[in-house]
């Protein structure tokens, strides 16, 4: 964040959602339960590091899930529930056995069968016999399914205006930090 931006943003917690918000002017503050504020010291351990991590996580959640919710937009654009969109996007990325898809989506198999039935009726996926295991079906996307998944990915991949408004240096810093976070998350 640029020094001008840092001096005009104060972190607060929205009491209704428990997420961080940016308001007012002044130095960055450490808001915890009950609105208690205190400075966040770089490199400090203990509660300060925890509070800073919680505040950052709250801001990220708020940015992605509250202020730039794209799931409804995608569901409306494709005319189906977001879970169906999620299943279609996975299937478009690679073909799956039904059991593998259920595990990938953390869904029970009977419900997933209903979802895939619906996607198949819409002409977005097809089931074929597994080449070596006659007990299994392989689900793959049709050309229409690939196009619908690409449309969903385009909507979901559109950056929010607040991100586009960041100065180039701040965006580069955020890119570096989120890349590191993604790497660490994949190692867990």
> Could you give the CA distance from residue 94 to residue 145 in angstroms, rounded to a whole number?
12
Q: Whole-angstrom Cα distance, residue 15 to residue 183?
A: 32
Q: What is the mean pLDDT of residues 54-62?
A: 89
Strand 96-97: give its sheet, edge to edge.
96-97, 137-141, 125-129
**How much is the pLDDT for 48?**
86
Evaluate if residue 140 carries a pLDDT over 90. Answer: yes
The domain limits of the chain are: 3-68, 71-156
Angle at CA of residue 181, ends 183 and 82, nearest 5°: 95
Catalogue the E-assigned strands of the chain. Answer: 10-13, 20-23, 96-97, 125-129, 137-141
Residue 42 has pLDDT above 60, yes or no: no
Residues 6+ apart with CB under 8 A from 153: 89
Q: What is the pLDDT of residue 25?
A: 37
Measured between alpha carbons, how far is 176 from 33 in angstroms, rounded to an integer?
Answer: 30
Which pLDDT score, from 0 to 100, does residue 39 have? 52
Q: How confident is the model at residue 28 (pLDDT cuts 50, 70, 90)?
A: very low
Share of the chain above pLDDT 90, in %: 52
Does 94 score more than 60 pLDDT?
yes
> Topology of domain 71-156, per CATH?
Arc Repressor Mutant, subunit A (1.10.10)
- Does pLDDT of 21 surpass 80? no
In 3D space, the residue among 42, 47, 149, 48 whose CA is nearest the CA of residue 92 turns out to be: 149
Mean pLDDT of 143-150: 98
pLDDT higher than threshold 60 for residue 13: no
């Amino acid at each position: 964040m640029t020094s001008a931006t840092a001096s005009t943003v104060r972190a607060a917690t929205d009491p209704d959602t428990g997420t961080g918000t940016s308001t007012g002017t002044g130095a960055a503050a450490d808001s915890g339960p009950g609105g208690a504020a205190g400075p966040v010291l770089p490199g400090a351990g203990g509660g300060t590091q925890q509070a800073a991590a919680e505040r950052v996580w709250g801001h990220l959640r708020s940015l992605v899930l509250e202020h730039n919710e794209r799931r409804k937009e995608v569901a409306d654009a494709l005319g189906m529930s977001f879970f169906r969109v999620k299943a279609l996007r996975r299937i478009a990325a690679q073909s799956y056995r039904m059991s593998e898809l259920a595990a990938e989506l953390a869904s029970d198999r009977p419900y997933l069968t209903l979802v895939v039935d619906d996607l198949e009726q819409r002409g977005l996926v097809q089931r074929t016999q597994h080449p070596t295991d006659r007990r299994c079906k392989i689900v793959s996307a049709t050309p229409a399914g690939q196009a619908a998944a690409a449309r969903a990915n385009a909507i979901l991949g559109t950056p929010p205006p607040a991100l586009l408004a960041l100065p180039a240096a701040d965006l580069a810093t955020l890119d570096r930090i989120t890349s590191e976070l993604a790497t660490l998350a994949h190692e867990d």
